[in-house]
Structure 1
Amino acid sequence: MIDYTIDWMPENGAELEANMNEAFEKIVEERERGISGYYFLPQDSRMIVEEVEATLLPTQTVQEADTVVVIGIGGSSLGAKALDGVLRSITPEAKRMVFLENPDPVEVSEKLESIDPDKSLFCIISKSGGTIETTTLYKIVLDRFGLRPESEHKERLFVITDEGSILHRYAEEHGIKSYFIPHNVGGRFSVLSAVGMVPLTLAGYKTCDILKGAQQIVKAFFDRQADHILQKGVFYAGHWQDYPMNVLFAYGSFLEDFAKWYVQLWGESLGKIDAQGERVGLTPLGHIGSVDQHSFLQLIMEGPRDKTVTFLKVEHFPTEITIPDISLKHIEKNDYINGHSLGELLDGECEATWESIRSQGVPTDGIVLDRISEENLGELILYYELLTSVAGATLGIDTYNQPGVELGKKILVKKFH
């Protein structure tokens, strides 16, 4: 179960309601016209999961593997990485996942050293099929481990891409198993497609439960039983000039990759030029409490009032550590925490920081998971995707394109020609 809290009060109830209805109608139209297909992934991806479970998991190659290597970047890896980072604490038996993303020679070398190719499965993921980082790292993997796609090694290779892409044509030529991303699902919205479901299912996660949680929030949203998403998205977009930044304080180190996924989702979706030629956008900032509040809280409290703050926390951790009843000379002032758990300390820090920020008139809201579970994570993913769509619809932009990233790609090509 997830509890959603909004602390600010609407300035005009009638106007807010009208804006929420308008945003909702736009999202319904997007779904009906097929502008974006992520709304259907919680149902459609079950077939993919069931196929992987029936045809791949029983094979000797998968049974003997202890590592799933994901070769992809951005939307092709961040979602699966976020789910792996959170769910591993309750799924210790899952296969190790290694993500080859950034063409950083030091990091790539270290990760390659940790991979046993005879006990690994390799998922090559690129929606376009031609992502330079992905194809380059794939070449390095083939060369490093002597993998030959035309041989029995192809049983360890899985391609996830758009149907008909150049990567799909490559996979077809070598008989490599391919899974497809719906054409109307962009990379940053694709974690619940084959992009995330195939590698996570191969790793041993309960992906059907992830999809179940996602489907619950989709149904609630379109049944108008989750209007807090509309209220929040309309507020963010309607006040973006006053509050152009949203700070996500996630209380748990295991949420670090989720925060990075959120940053990509918002940054690439909501920073656009609108129909009137105006530059609009919401800047996402992902932080981990309590670590980052020691460096960022001062700016929120006494810096410019141009930020909203979202608190994301888990009520019950899968493991706990009790703080010993030890009194240290000269440091006795901290003895009040003795006998409590680290989870209680982290939760207390979250509540104290939340209260202090709220007391300064900063718009805050909260997302509280009762526990770490597949269903909760599926719901959380879809919640943020819906929130992004509502904000984009209110801003009057195309939430799903990313023209601003194309120029750099063109310049890169010229540099190597």
Structure 2
Amino acid sequence: MVQVKILADLKNDYQSEAQKAVADVKSRTQKPGQFLNWIGFLPKNQIENIDNIYNLAQEAKKDGSNELAILGIGGSRHTTEALINMIGMEDKVHFYSSVDPISFNKFAKKLEGKEDKVKFLVVSKSGGTLETTVAYQNAKELVKTKTPNRKFEEAFVAMTDKNPEKSNLRKLVENGEIKLSGFVHDDVGGRFSIFDDATIFTLAFVGVKKEDTIKMLEASLKAQNEFLNDDVNKNDALKLAVFNVNARQEGKIKHFVEYFGDEFSGTTLWEKQLKNESLKANISTDTNIGPGYLHYNAESDLDKNNKDSFFTFVSVKQQDKYANAVLKGVISAYSNQHPVSTIELDDLSLSSIARFIELKHFETLYTGNILRQLKNDITPSDVALNEVLQPNVEIYKKEVKKALAQ
């Protein structure tokens, strides 16, 4: 369903490091504080609770709501957005992450005339994320102004921590300000949370059949088992990680992931977050949508002085001669000058998408792990892997809090 090819001569297969990386991940799964509950636990849990999530979506639509507006930032947005765009349901779901009035007015304009048919989904693990909190306050005013006869508590659905002591948003649910809610599960991490309640709820809301969602989650579990194989030759996620590490060891620090097809417009943002939060400054990842990006990037990409870049091309298998000719020509030109890998999805079925998502999850995890091994940077077993943490994000958040206090 998803084919990986490495179009570069690799100097090292890093088999020993790959085996250690897999063993390290396996030893940490489903342990508190490791932020690896997306492996095994989450898809299994969602299958077991699928009826509850689908019933929640049906309850949310009882008032006639037929569109969804998701208020969230980072993984709370990009995970769901990636999946919704890949299955072609983006017309039914709106996303908002900004804080400024101009952006919110533009967002509200999209909902004009149908505010009473829009359900707002507020997604935040802590329930205190600044951008999401501001968005919720603005959305409340919009509901009060545009739909004064609507029951306010029914206009919103919350996805947050189950514990009100850890989430201000959960407190609003318990106080009755928001009627319906689901969970952001513990030890998953935003960028790895694509199969958490917010996305499954969204799939149910836009009309994806329950049995298809179950097949997606089953495909996720199957892919996870395959990507926990420690043989590089049998594990596509390890193949991509070894490709990335070889490129980095040759001085290539910029990884460009070029997606061919507008269906990947949300995926580009998700992968950028996934890679840059996980790999930090070790490898800088950028993403684009092709073929449009060629008319502003190819001149730089194919300059003979470009010595610090490597590329991955992602596409869906198709029979169109023009699309295939462009992709074939581009890959040929780039692979003549740079290390190149390719990922081809057979189709955009939920099962293929699930495998692709897990491929990206594990590729990212293993890339960072192997790079750290080469620096003799070994994470103690009682500390979460650097690839699932994001301590540097807190730096700007602290400065924002200081600015607000002034």
Please report the TM-score for the alignment, with normalisation by the length of structure 1.
0.83
Q: Check the 8 A contact 2:160/2:183 in 1, yes or no.
A: yes
Partner of 1:97: 93
Partner of 1:400: 388
Measured after TM superposition, the shift of residue 62 of structure 1 is 4.0
Partner of 1:339: none
Q: 1-side partners of 2:81 and 2:63: how far apart?
A: 22
Q: Secondary structure at the match of 1:309?
A: strand
Partner of 2:237: 229
Partner of 1:198: 201
CA offset digits 1:92-111 (Å, max 9, x no partner): xx871011112243332122
Q: 1-side partners of 2:123 and 2:60: how far apart?
A: 23
Q: Describe the shift of the 1:60–1:402 C-alpha distance in structure 2 as closer, same or farther (beyond 3 A).
A: closer
Partner of 1:276: none
User: Structure 2, unaligned stretches of length 5 or more?
Assistant: 373-384
Give the percent of matched residue pairs that are identical in Structure 1 and Structure 2: 23
Match of 2:31 among 8, 30, 33: 33
Partner of 1:78: 78
Q: Secondary structure at the match of 1:310?
A: strand
User: Which is further off, 154-163 or 66-75?
Assistant: 154-163
Measured after TM superposition, the shift of residue 238 of structure 1 is 5.3
Question: Is 1:217 aligned with 2:238?
Answer: no
Q: Describe the shift of the 1:235–1:257 C-alpha distance in structure 2 as closer, same or farther (beyond 3 A).
A: same
Partner of 1:208: 214
Partner of 1:267: 276
Partner of 1:54: 55
In our comparison, the structure showing a higher alpha carbon Rg is 1
Partner of 2:160: 161
Q: Check the 8 A contact 2:229/2:235 in 1, yes or no.
A: no
Question: Is 1:23 aligned with 2:31?
Answer: no
Q: 1-side partners of 2:133 and 2:30: how far apart?
A: 35
Q: Check the 8 A contact 2:173/2:180 in 1, yes or no.
A: yes
Number of residue equivalences: 375
Partner of 1:295: 296
**Aligned ranges 1:313-352 → 2 under 5 Å:** 313-316=315-318, 343-352=320-329
Match of 1:134 among 127, 132, 135: 132
Q: Check the 8 A contact 1:70/1:199 in 2, yes or no.
A: no
Paired letter, 1:23: A
Q: Check the 8 A contact 2:43/2:218 in 1, yes or no.
A: yes
CA offset digits 1:203-252 (Å, max 9, x no partner): 22343333233222112112458522113213423542511111111111
User: Structure 1, unaligned stretches of length 5 or more?
Assistant: 272-279, 318-342
Measured after TM superposition, the shift of residue 359 of structure 1 is 1.7
Paired letter, 2:326: E
Partner of 1:383: 359
Measured after TM superposition, the shift of residue 346 of structure 1 is 2.0
What CA RMSD, in Å, does the superposition of the two structures yield over aligned residues? 2.4
Q: 2-side partners of 1:55 and 1:297: how far apart?
A: 47
Partner of 1:44: 45
| Runs of 4+ with deviation above 6 angstroms | none
Please report the TM-score for the alignment, with normalisation by the length of structure 2.
0.86
Q: 2-side partners of 1:368 and 1:163: how far apart?
A: 38
Measured after TM superposition, the shift of residue 153 of structure 1 is 3.3
Measured after TM superposition, the shift of residue 270 of structure 1 is 0.9
Q: 2-side partners of 1:135 and 1:369: how far apart?
A: 37
Q: Describe the shift of the 1:261–1:62 C-alpha distance in structure 2 as closer, same or farther (beyond 3 A).
A: farther
Q: Describe the shift of the 1:248–1:95 C-alpha distance in structure 2 as closer, same or farther (beyond 3 A).
A: closer
Measured after TM superposition, the shift of residue 297 of structure 1 is 1.8
Q: 2-side partners of 1:23 and 1:187: how far apart?
A: 22
Measured after TM superposition, the shift of residue 55 of structure 1 is 4.7
Q: Describe the shift of the 1:230–1:223 C-alpha distance in structure 2 as closer, same or farther (beyond 3 A).
A: closer
Measured after TM superposition, the shift of residue 364 of structure 1 is 0.7
